[in-house]
Amino acid sequence: MKKIILVRYGEIILKGLNRPVFEEKLMGNIKSAIYKFGKAKVLKSQGRIYIEPEDENYEFDLVMQRVTKVFGVVSVSPVWKIETDYEQIKTYALKMATELVNQYGYKTFKVETKRGNKKFPMQSPEVCNDIGGHIFENINGLTVDVHNPDFILFIEIRENSYIYSETIKGHGGMPLGSNGKAMLLLSGGIDSPVAGWMMGKRGVELEAIHFYSYPYTSERAKQKVIDLAKILAGYCGKIHLHIVPFTEIQLAINDKCPEDQLTIIMRRIMMRIAEQIARNSNAMALVTGESMGQVASQTMHGLYCTDSAVNMPVFRPLIGMDKVEVIDIARKIDTFETSILPYEDCCTVFVAKHPQTKPKLDKILLSESKVDFEPLIKTAIETTEVIVVRP
């Protein structure tokens, strides 16, 4: 018997002729997510992936946790792989049931069998009955409940046979890197990490950019963004984080532009810088955490003005979501606790008392023409620091 990990994937099965490409990508992503935990073979067979440790002290639990975060993975199970030999199946089924009962104190169970190997002489119901009876007779106090059992013992009979009970859900989606690369505008808030995660889930590789206004915002605020990028990297693999010094630009906007337009102009300049850095990194789109109507700059008029600053697609995966829905995801992906740490962001330092909710593009352009942004933008990009953030 060998303890292995079974990985199930869903959506990419539907991708017709491209399926092998998606599968290869997923296998590659799983391999790079787990290589540091020890030696293991990653194999594909009949629409599943199997991770077979080759190392005595394999970090099983850590690998399972890590694999459930790989996009494209629907679920994983710790599995016992045995030869397709009925006596062995029976022996190990009882052994696993015994371990589960000892560990969790289960009182009821049922057996489910799938027979992928049609040459196997027994039918599935017969296997269920016989092995169910064998377990019932040998474990005191354990009874069968076919409707609502404490645990189900799954037996799959294929070329080899597999026994398992536990299944841990993944996030599904598409394998990362199957859908190009985008530049995420990452603030220290709740929304943008969630927006990045949602794009990653659709197979989009991410780089991130953060604007920071030292000394108006602190080192701790910057560290918070690095920490958020690190949590995202747990799903997406390493992330290049571009930290753009933004103080000069904010001071210039503050100095020369009408107060009620500060936020919109600031956001437009952020987008322009992000677009250039995106092009330099071969990213084809920008991603933000904006949601319709959430704050003054996120009205239809505001977003229209922001979008007009750039010539590449801007994705806003949270556009139709309420804050509560965003927070639910932030909790699920583990960014929430970091996001709510109090350190200030440049948007909260330079903020208008009454920002325009219906900015007009021609007026904004006129105000922008009062500042020579080009050299400021050039300097900001030249002095951008790039940090490689790893999970």
Q: Which residues are annotated as a binding site for ATP?
A: 185-186, 210-211, 267, 289, 298
Nearer to Mg ion, 149 or 317 (CB): 317
Measure the CA–CA gap between 36 and 66, rounded to whole angstroms: 11
Q: How far is the CB of 206 from ligand ATP (least distance, A)?
A: 12
| Buried b / exposed e along 160-172 (16+ C-beta atoms within 10 A) | bbbbbbeeeebbb
What is the token pair recorded at 381? 């990009």
Q: Which residues bind Mg ion (CB under 5 A)?
A: 187, 189
Site for ligand ATP in 211-230 (CB under 6 A): 211
Q: How far is the CB of 275 from Mg ion (least distance, A)?
A: 20
Contact 110, 146 (CB under 8 A): yes
Residue 2, beta-bridge partner list: 81
Site for ligand ATP in 344-363 (CB under 6 A): 345-347
The stretch among 62-70, 89-97, 186-194, 356-364 that binds ligand ATP (CB under 6 A) is: 186-194
Measure the CA–CA gap between 104 and 272, rounded to whole angstroms: 56
The residue from 77, 297, 299, 335 that contacts ligand ATP (CB under 6 A) is 297
Binding-site entries: 185-186, 210-211, 267, 289, 298
Q: Which amino acid, 376?
A: L
In the shown chain, the binding pattern of residues 34 to 63 toward ligand ATP, with x for contact by CB under 6 A and - for none, equals: ------------------------------
The residue from 53, 132, 175, 189 that contacts ligand ATP (CB under 6 A) is 189
Contacts of 382 (CB under 8 A, 6+ apart): none
Measure the CA–CA gap between 100 and 278, rounded to whole angstroms: 51
Measure the CA–CA gap between 387 and 384, rounded to whole angstroms: 10
Measure the CA–CA gap between 266 and 288, rounded to whole angstroms: 14
The stretch among 53-61, 144-152, 204-212, 363-371 that binds ligand ATP (CB under 6 A) is: 204-212
Residue number closest to Mg ion, CB atom:
189
Which of 388, 55, 130, 378 minimizes the C-alpha distance to 248? Answer: 378
Strands 151-157 and 108-115: parallel
Decide if residue 191 touches ligand ATP (CB under 6 A): yes
Nearer to ligand ATP, 23 or 345 (CB): 345
Q: How far is the CB of 295 from ligand ATP (least distance, A)?
A: 5
Residue 307's Cβ-count burial label (10 Å; 0-12, 13-18, 19+) is: middle
The stretch among 35-43, 95-103, 342-350, 379-387 that binds ligand ATP (CB under 6 A) is: 342-350
Nearer to ligand ATP, 117 or 280 (CB): 280
Q: Return the one option of Mg ion, ligand ATP, none that residue 185 interacts with (CB less than 5 to 8 A, by type).
A: ligand ATP
**Which residues bind to ligand ATP, rule: CB under 6 A?**
185-187, 189-192, 209-211, 288-290, 294-295, 297, 345-347
